[in-house]
A and B are shown apart, each in its own frame.
Chain A
Amino acid sequence: MKAILYDVTKCEGCMKCVEACAAEAGAPAQDPHCDLQRDELSASRRSTTTRSSSGRWVRRHCHHCMDPSCVSACLVGALTRDDRGRVTYDESRCIGCRYCMLACPFGFPKYEWDRVTPLMRKCEMCHDRPGGPACVQACDQGAALYGERDEMLAVARRRIGASPDLYLPHIWGEREMGGTGVLFISDTDLAEFWPKQLGEHAIPEITMPFLTKAPWLAVAVAGGLSGFSWIIRRRNKLRGEGHEE
């Protein structure tokens, strides 16, 4: 189970991670400081660094949820969570229904609207890149760490324990939405970046009970109607016979 840990207090917003990400994704050359799109993420800009309301720089890219809504939503299974906890995308399966974009509470999946044969794009935690994510390697401020999720949580706790005056005693992503593969420690509140309606619940936790009821609903409807049909036919038949008599 891999995870990225961000120490928000160490980020200065130099954007080297964003540049490295674009280069790794083979996205067209762009000025990482300027994207005219209001929503700063796009198909060619799979990760970004934005200001929080308190002025801190916060990384924005796919959070690689432990129980991802997009994976449960994708009808052809193009999105999967691999054995190391990374949510990856198989573009040869994708039909372009864009349900993942609706399903992600963060709106991280983006679409290649400018292409005639568009695909979905999002951070895949550089799953096929030796040496881990490009953005983490590009960071020379020590604001990003990549490794096993348990270790990252331990590092986070150590840092918070070592300077309790600096950090807030919370690891964002540890339990939010059932836990994510991207963790944050910070000196200011980052709750604004998390969907507050969900709390610690993953979206599939909400939707699965409805889905598992479907087969029973089918059995009930089919069985009930067959029964009804038989009863009514029989009654009609008996009544018909009665008339004849």
Chain B
Amino acid sequence: MSARLLKEILWAMFFAGLIALVFRFTWGLGAVTGLSDSVPWGIWKVLNMVAGVALSTGGFVLAAAVHVFQIKRLRPLLRPALLLAALGYASSCTALFIDIGLSWRIWHPLVMWNVHSFLFEVAWCVMLYLSITLLEVTPITLEESGHSKIKRILHAIAPTVVIIGITLSTLHHTSLGSLFLVSPSRLHPLWYTPGLPIHFILSAIGAGISAVILLVLLVGRLYRKKVPQEALRLAGKTAAVVLSLYLLTRVVDLWRREAFGLLAAGDLESMLYLVEVVLGIMLPLALFAWPRTRRSLRGLGVAAGFCVGGLVLNRLDVGILGYLSSGGGSYLPTAPELAICFGIPAGAGLIFFALVERFRFYSEGGPSAPLGPAPSTERPVRFQFRPAAARLSRIFVITLAVAIGMFTANSGEARSRSGGVRPPAVLDAAAGILRIDGDRDGDGVDFPHDLHGEFIDCRSCHHLNAVDDEPATCSACHSRLHDHAPLFQHDRHLQTVGEWRGFTGPRAGNQTCSLCHDSGKPRAKVDPGVCARCHREPGWEDTSGKEETRGYTHALHDLCIRCHGERQEGTIRRTMGNCSVCHQ
């Protein structure tokens, strides 16, 4: 893949995110996302924020390695790592801005304090650390310009800045884990553990190093630069050490809590946990630890990829999936939600490439540079505005069309939950109990049909005189779950059409039948074209399709609640109109 193609894909993703952003701020969180009261935190918080921050740890890890521990061999990775950290944290803050309900109040934590809140600690540390990463990155962009005074100041404070940055990182990575300690009764016991802070920081360090490895490999490939192999190998080795520590804490944690039994449950949670540990920790650990894979760039890339994937899955498990079983809710991110989720890192990616092309973020250059040709030749051809603008506007228009189509389709569906209704299933033929569950989502009502027949007239519910005298199901006319459905009123036609034709006498109705139903066919079906015989003629108002029924849910609720409500004084208690009586 060429750098240009990749950038065009990123532009498309970024535009899609921008369009989704307009949707989000026009219609609000509820209309645009799949979030609900039972799943209040979605992918923006858990993937963009919690996982995004974790994947940006490379910055502080390499700053510590190079500046504090003076491991010179890792130096070639420092600059990409710092840039990744700055952009990663900026992306996370952007996501947070979009995610919170009242975005313009994002400054509130600055002046309104609650020091007892983990989220407060996270907010402050992330904010401060973002400033730190900018301080660390700025000198690199100033390298080739004047500003010698600023450079001197920044250089002088660098060691202090690095140590403050590492401290802040340690704090907020542990706190991000502690965030979920508030849900002992709601988070699945496989993940709820006092070890969460330790798991979070260890996994973040491992995956942060892996993200830097992936990034350096990607840039090296896209721009055909020499890859700092020795540094990458050392980073892989470090990742292996961190991952083995992480694996150890995970296993010891299960052992101490005697929670191994939960893994044998065979449910979704245990599967996710196993995938996370086997593919996300053990596999990359083995690959990083094995010298042969570490020697090949592809091997390093695969190992780092699995490690990053494992971290993302872990954060999803802790932040969203682990909550589903206790809350009883479900969550499926909508198209606009996904567009913003991927649009933000896409935007950050574009800034990354722009900076890498303009400044020496990839290698330090100069005579002692361990890789690549001289910096002057590293620069690409000058950016040409007009062709680029034409290309980008084309991408934008295509994205706009696709995005609007997808977003409106998706959000409409998510909210109105319209759809075909299926008739009740017989639950118990002997007792005459029907299972009413129009959308078959498992949340239905067991209706004692025959019992009702003992007290009330069939016609109370089966109010349609259907052809062949069959007791029509409710869904025959109330054919959509929540929306109105078009209706054909057979009896009304029998009357009005007969009157119009001037049929009189005892068998007037019989004469009317044959106007629509062709005689001689066994069940006298009607060709839809028949309606047009009258409804298209001048003088006839075209009302076909305009008669409507209420949605299935409303129709059925009305039926039960009205009856049970009206018969309050009789044998049936008014409280039978309560949800929990039928929805058990």
Contact = CB atoms under 8 A, between A and B. Distances in A.
Interface of A: 12-15, 31, 33-36, 38-42, 50-51, 69, 71-78, 93-99, 101-103, 105, 107, 110-119, 195-198, 203-204, 206-208, 210-211, 214, 217-218, 221-222, 225-226, 228-229, 232-233, 236
B185 interface: yes
Contacts of B180: 102
B163 A73 contact: no
B184 A195 contact: yes
Given A34-B557, A76-B114, A208-B116, A203 B184 contact: yes
Contacts of B67: 229
B28 A116 contact: yes
Nearest to A57: B575
B112 A96 contact: no
25 contacts: A33-B578, A38-B328, A51-B580, A72-B182, A93-B112, A95-B101, A95-B109, A96-B100, A98-B41, A99-B119, A102-B180, A107-B327, A111-B40, A112-B30, A113-B28, A113-B37, A118-B28, A118-B29, A119-B101, A119-B102, A197-B185, A210-B178, A210-B197, A218-B171, A225-B167
For the complex of A and B, list the 6 residue pairs with the smallest distance between their C-beta atoms, beginning with the closest. Answer: A96-B101, A113-B30, A195-B185, A116-B28, A75-B120, A101-B40
Give chain A's interface secondary structure class: loop
B269 interface: no
Give chain B's interface secondary structure class: helix
Contact of B167 (A211, A221, A232): A221
Interface string B6-48: 0000000000000000000111111100011110110000000
Contact of A226 (B114, B163, B578): B163
Contacts of B102: 94-96, 117-119
Contacts of B113: 76-77
B106 A95 contact: yes
A41 B180 CA distance: 23
Nearest to B186: A105
Nearest to A80: B114
Contacts of A41: 37
A73 B186 CA distance: 15
Interface centre among B112, B170, B323 (most CB of A within 10 A): B112
B184 A198 contact: yes
B553 interface: yes
A107 B565 CA distance: 31
B581 interface: yes
Given A72-B117, A102-B40, A117-B102, A36 B578 contact: no
Contact of B30 (A69, A118, A218, A222): A118
Contact of A211 (B69, B118, B580): B118
A15 B581 CA distance: 14
Contacts of B184: 105, 195, 197-198, 203, 206
Contacts of A197: 184-185
B70 A114 contact: no
B106 A203 contact: no
B346 to A, nearest CB: 24
B134 interface: no
Interface centre among A14, A15, A39, A95 (most CB of B within 10 A): A95
A19 B323 CA distance: 31
Interface string B314-350: 0000000001000111000000000000000000000
Interface of B: 25-31, 35-38, 40-41, 64, 67-70, 99-103, 105-106, 108-109, 112-114, 116-121, 123, 159, 163-164, 166-167, 170-171, 174-175, 178-186, 194, 197, 323, 327-329, 443, 553, 557, 561, 565, 574-575, 577-581, 583
A208 B101 CA distance: 27
B580 A50 contact: yes
A75 B101 contact: no
A99 to B, nearest CB: 5
A75 B167 CA distance: 21
Given A97-B100, A222-B163, A77 B112 contact: yes
Contacts of B103: 96
Nearest to A33: B577
Contact of B121 (A93, A116, A214): A214
A31 B197 CA distance: 46
A54 to B, nearest CB: 13
Contacts of A110: 37
A144 to B, nearest CB: 17
A151 to B, nearest CB: 30
A39 B101 contact: no
B116 A228 contact: no
Nearest to B197: A210
Nearest to A38: B443
Nearest to A226: B163
Given A95-B100, A98-B41, A195-B185, A76 B109 contact: yes
Contact of B577 (A34, A78, A114, A206): A34
A183 to B, nearest CB: 20
Contacts of B25: 116
B119 A39 contact: no
A192 B194 CA distance: 25
B164 A222 contact: yes
Nearest to B101: A96
A107 B119 CA distance: 18
B121 A232 contact: no
Contact of A113 (B35, B105, B197, B583): B35
Contacts of B575: 12-15, 33
Contacts of A94: 101-102, 105
Nearest to A105: B185
Contacts of A114: 28, 30-31
